[in-house]
Amino acid sequence: MTRPRTDYVWVGVFAVLVTFAIPWFLWRDAATWAGLPVWLWWHIGWMVLASGAFYLFTLGAWDRGMNVEPEEM
């Protein structure tokens, strides 16, 4: 069984999401924006990005990976 190229792209996408989930480069940085630390804004933005990536993942790759036939809408 061969894997489609998109499966390898998704592995890379999720590796990047996990790698940058913790903003190591913002530690010990006291900068604030709109009253909150910049590292907190990083987490908020990163969770929005991760949610969008997971939504796109569920549109096709999830069904293929679970060996399920996608339901027609």
Residue of higher predicted confidence among 66 and 48: 48
Confidence at residue 47, expressed as pLDDT on a 0 to 100 scale: 92
What are residue 36's DSSP bridge partners?
33
Q: Are 46 and 21 in contact (CB under 8 A)?
A: yes
pLDDT band, residue 2 (cuts 50/70/90)? low
Residue-range domain boundaries for the chain: 10-24+35-61
Confidence at residue 67, expressed as pLDDT on a 0 to 100 scale: 60
Residues 7-52: tens digit of each pLDDT: 788 889 999 999 988 888 877 777 888 888 888 888 899 999 999 9
pTM strictly above 0.85: no
